[in-house]
Amino acid sequence: MNIAKVVVDVPASQTDRVYDYLIPENMIGVLQPGMRVVVPFGNRRIMGFVLEIGSSAEVDKLKEIQETMDLLPALTPELLDLGVWMGEQTLSFHITALQAMLPQAMKAKYQKLLIRTGEIAEALHPLFLEGDTAGYEQFEHSGVPLATLQQAIKAGQIELHYQVNSKETKKTIRMVDASKNVEELQKALESVNARAMKQRALLEHFIEEPGPIVQKHLLDMYETTASTLKPLLETGLLHSYDKEVLRDPYEDRQIERTRPLQLSDSQAKALEPILWSIQSESHEVFLLHGVTGSGKTEVYLQAIQQVLEKGQEAIVLVPEIALTPQTVNRFKGRFGSDVAVLHSALSAGEKYDEWRKIQRKQVKVAVGARSAIFAPFENLGIIIIDEEHETSYKQEDHPKYHARDIAVFRGEYHHAPVVLGSATPSLESFARAEKGVYHMLELPERVNQAAMPDYQIVDMRDELHAGNRSIFSRDLLEQMKERLHRKEQTVLFLNRRGYSTFVMCRDCGHTVECPHCDITLTYHRSSEQLKCHYCGYEEPIPSICPACESDTIRYFGTGTQKVEEALTQLLPEARVIRMDVDTTRRKGAHEKLLGAFGRGEADILLGTQMIAKGLDFEKVTLVGVLAADSMLHLPDFRAAEKTFQLLTQVSGRAGRHSLPGEVIIQTYSPEHYSVELAAAGDYRPFFQTEMQTRRAFQYPPYYYLALMTISHQHQMKAMQTTQTIVQLLQKHLSDQVRILGPTPSPLARIKDRYRFQCMVKYKNEPNLRDVIRRILHHYEDARKKEDLQIHVDLQPYSL
Ligand code: ADP
Ligand code: ZN
Ligand code: ZN
């Protein structure tokens, strides 16, 4: 067993295979699948993952592994399998799929450190002459066998640590310890100047308590400074060293412990089949469809509790923007230090530490955004995806995976249930639940008899006709005044995405759509044209509205700043907190602003998408949505679904407690079914209506999509290559498929590269991956030599 099969870090299809390397003598028995190694490749040294250990006949031809980067596998056998599957499913390189499962800190080669964390064997003592931390070179020069070091690491006595960057190495605390025995300290004490009171006090401390102590605590205790300590360290009576502590981003926070609540009847009914699946270890996918405030989280918490009692582990995914302190506290409040949180706002080092807590089995629950689905647990008992409809669960870079698919893979592997929760499920999931592929669970009411809020749709065209040109309708302004008066709070939501990219008539609300695709045409400033990004249809911008002949047709634009200014003018006494990318750029800003709002330090919270989810404030009794239809006109077949979801979510912020809530939706498309049905608060009619549209226009879940994006610095080259690819697809796929394109991408030029795309709509095309793979292979040379880029997305979310 002296051969390692290694996937190397050279993303290209000819290297997307496994290479054999000879295992050097000292690594035999140490190296395991899932470890990262450094290997020679051509004349370079590169990183790779060991997939398998075996033997080979052609040993003399092989190059040797140069270095092992891990002494514990970074990837479990399950995750190695998942890497193969994910690579195939998403048409990504194998190495890319494997790297996607690790925290940033482990994707590059960083300097290695050894950290002593416990009692170590005699043979290892020479490594740690200067304290608890040693460079890896010290080990390499020591002659200690690698297997000895590995044993100490496995036993938790030493840790192999990567220094992420020089500023953010590891977090340490300075310790002080007595280096002499008590008798010698006693003698030393007699010779210390009687007036050096503080020095004497420190020595006396160690005579009584010889063990190590945190330096800061020691100095605080004797009300002295490091200068008092210095001479004692210099004479060698005491010594000090740095001890690593894992960074805990939540260490400063006091979190109140909570106990399981008495479940409502419908909660109990929903929980039962989940518990049964956990207990019987039968994998099943549940769709927990519960209105906002129906107590889905409590169902998750009690299911997790059962999993922990069984000695198993849990993963909970929450969308990035909902990963607020409030959400984290609910899990930490119930499971305390058993919870690791993986959040993109953490620093690379913090993320790495949270990941290591999982790897070392110090925690049992991982709560996090999309990539937390790869938490390296080995005994998973449940996977929960909250707000399962969220598009952020789809990764837009390679590997373009959807966390939902990864959850199902892992659930099957561990015989564990997967719970998808939402008030507004994706059409895909709801359709599967209706068919019985998923197990449907429903929570139709809010807990504690809290009523669903009252909805009011305001037609902004009427406002205009009544002479109101303000951002706020008369009703919304009136209601905000009312809240100020009653000392209650208002949340104002402005969806900025997709702004000023479409043209709309201010008089009748008409927008211009593609005659073939049921998609709003996108405004191109450069050419003054309206274009369809699906089929390429285009037309000039109309100067009068084709529907009502008004000349008020124009493109749109309002930002949060403008709204804030308007508030200052109209409600000068209101205290406003604005939350958008500009005000939340600094670390912790998000938390600070929400904290202030929660304490009642402001009357109005004004924000973008980031305030749509997970907020639960008692005093919020009014939610205003300023431009409900801004999303409706995005060039996206999910526009109606996203609008419905967003309106339902935002509205769910109002009146969650004893005070009744009210929602005012301002729109130019009051008659659109996604606006009307969101106001009615009923998912099923929306589902039925939207499914008809999807069927008529051949979109998911009736059809699958594959999107290929081709980019090059010359427009002609990108266009012609796309044209050729369309022909190849037509030639090699069945005549059941529909191929659209070539057409410019929604972002037709990025960084001076022209982008074109083509889309395949299909129902059942077992050849598809193969055909695309062959096309990619065909262009391999051009991609390298002519800088042509081809991207494939087999599950496109935003087009
Ligand atoms: P969802 O996740 O479905 O929007 P939450 O889990 O946030 O709903 O629940 C809404 C509120 O109801 C929370 O404040 C929660 O603590 C409370 N709650 C949930 N279940 C119960 C219960 N069984 N008894 C009392 N309060 C509950
Ligand atoms: Zn009009
Ligand atoms: Zn079109």
Q: What is the 3-state secondary structure (H, E, C) of 423-490?
A: CCCCHHHHHHHHHCCCEEEEECCCHHHCCCCEEEEEEHHHHHHCCCCCCCCHHHHHHHHHHHHHCCEE
> What pLDDT, in 10s, does the model give residues 508-532?
888 888 777 666 787 766 677 887 7
514 is in an annotated binding site: yes
Q: What is the mean pLDDT of residues 771-799?
A: 86
- In this prediction, what percent of the chain has a pLDDT beyond 70? 92
Q: Does position 445 have pLDDT exceeding 50, yes or no?
A: yes
Predicted confidence (pLDDT) at residue 499 exceeds the cutoff of 50: no
The preferred substitution site among 334, 443, 447, 659 for testing ligand 1, maximizing ligand atoms within 8 Å of CB, is 447
Ligand nearest to the CA of 271: 1
pLDDT of 500? 45
Ligand 3 centroid from CA 523, angstroms:
14
Q: Does residue 384 contact residue 306 with C-beta atoms inside 8 Å?
A: no
Q: Residue 18: pLDDT above 80?
A: yes
Of 754, 732, 733, the closest CA to residue 743 belongs to 754
Closest ligand 1 atom, residue 296 Cα: 3
What is the CB < 6 Å shell around ligand 1?
261-264, 267, 290, 292-298, 447-448, 616
- Cα of 457 vs centre of ligand 2, distance in Å, is 20
Give whichever of 28-42, 336-350, 582-596, 630-644 has the largest mean pLDDT.
28-42
| Pocket perturbation via mutation, ligand 1, pick of 324, 331, 446, 448 by most ligand atoms within 8 A of CB | 448
Tokens 């939902």 belong to residue: 404
CA distances from 46 to 62, 68, 214, 784 (A): 16, 11, 41, 19
Which residue lies with its CA nearest to atom 21 of ligand 1?
Answer: 295
**pLDDT category of residue 584 using cuts at 50, 70 and 90:** confident
Q: What is the mean pLDDT of residues 16-40?
A: 92
* CA of 551, nearest ligand number: 2
Cα 787 from Cα 781, distance rounded (Å): 9
- Looking at residue 208, its pLDDT comes to 82
Atom of ligand 1 nearest to the CA of 263: 23
Q: Which ligand is nearest to the CA of 740?
A: 3
3-state SS, residue 752: coil
Q: In whole angstroms, give the CA distance from residue 401 to residue 411.
A: 16
Residue to probe by mutation, ligand 1, list 298, 422, 442, 645, most atoms within 8 Å of CB? 298
- Cis-peptide into 399, omega within 30 deg: yes
517's CB contacts (< 8 A; 6+ apart) are 532, 534, 535, 537, 697
Domains and CATH numbers, the chain: 3-107 (3.40.1440.60), 110-164 (no CATH), 172-244 (no CATH), 265-443 (3.40.50.300), 454-499+557-693 (3.40.50.300), 704-794 (3.30.70.360)
pLDDT at 586 over 90: no
**Region 723-750: what's the mean pLDDT?**
90
The answer, yes or no, to whether residue 69 has pLDDT greater than 50, is yes
Pairing outcome for strands 604-607 and 489-493: parallel
| Banded model confidence at residue 489, pLDDT cuts 50, 70, 90 | very high
- 382-399: per-residue pLDDT in tens? 999 999 999 899 998 889
Supply the pLDDT for residue 555: 65
Cβ(665)–Cβ(458) below 8 Å: yes
Distance 678 CA to ligand 2 centre (A): 25
Q: Who wins on pLDDT, 114 or 653?
A: 114
Q: Which ligand is nearest to the CA of 521?
A: 3
Element (H, E) at 285: strand 285-290
Separation CA 613–CA 649 (nearest Å):
6
Measured in Å, residue 292 CA sits from the centre of ligand 1 at: 9
Residue 97 clears pLDDT 90, i.e. is over it: yes
Q: Over range 403-407, report the average pLDDT.
A: 97
E strand map for 136-226: 158-163, 171-178, 213-214
548 to each of 223, 538, 552, 628, 701, how far by Cα in Å? 81, 21, 10, 22, 35
Sheet strands side by side (includes 704-712): 738-750, 753-762, 704-712, 789-793
- Ligand 1 atom with least separation from CA of 443: 3
Give the helix ranges, DSSP H, for 555-638: 560-570, 589-598
Query: Rounded to an integer, what distance in angstroms lies between the CA atom of residue 36 and that of residue 67?
Result: 9
User: Is 758 annotated as belonging to a binding site?
Assistant: no
Dihedral sign from CA coordinates of 494, 500, 502, 507: positive
Please indicate whether residue 12 or residue 681 has the higher confidence score (pLDDT). 681
> How high is the pLDDT of residue 339?
94
532 is in an annotated binding site: yes
**pLDDT band, residue 219 (cuts 50/70/90):** confident
C-alpha 418/C-alpha 382 separation (Å) is 6
Give residue 557 CA to ligand 2 midpoint distance, Å: 18
Q: How many CB atoms lie within 10 A of CB 781?
A: 10
More confident residue, 748 or 765: 765
CA of 416 to the centre of ligand 1 (A): 25
3-state SS track over 504-556: EECCCCCECECCCCCCECEEECCCCEEECCCCCCEEECCCCCCCCCCCCEEEC
Mean pLDDT (the chain) is 87
Ranked by mean pLDDT, the top range of 460-474, 542-556, 745-759 is 460-474
Residue 560 pLDDT > 80: no
Q: Check whether 750 has a pLDDT greater than 60.
A: yes
CA distance 323 to 613: 9
478 alpha carbon, distance to own chain's centre: 39
pLDDT above 50 (res 152)? yes
Range name among 52-66, 302-316, 763-777 with the lowest pLDDT average? 52-66
- Going from the Cα of 705 to the center of ligand 3, the distance in angstroms, rounded, reads 15
The answer to whether the beta carbons of residues 321 and 493 sit under 8 Å apart is: no
Residue with tokens 């431009």: 627
* pLDDT value at residue 138: 86
CA 126 from centroid of its chain's CA atoms: 43
| Cα separation, 607 vs 495, whole angstroms | 8
Residues 6+ away with beta carbon under 8 Å from 98:
7, 49, 75, 80, 83
CA neighbor of 206 nearest in space, from 245, 240, 234: 240
* Of 365, 372, 359, residue with least CA distance to 340: 365
Neighbours of 224 (CB within 10 A): 16
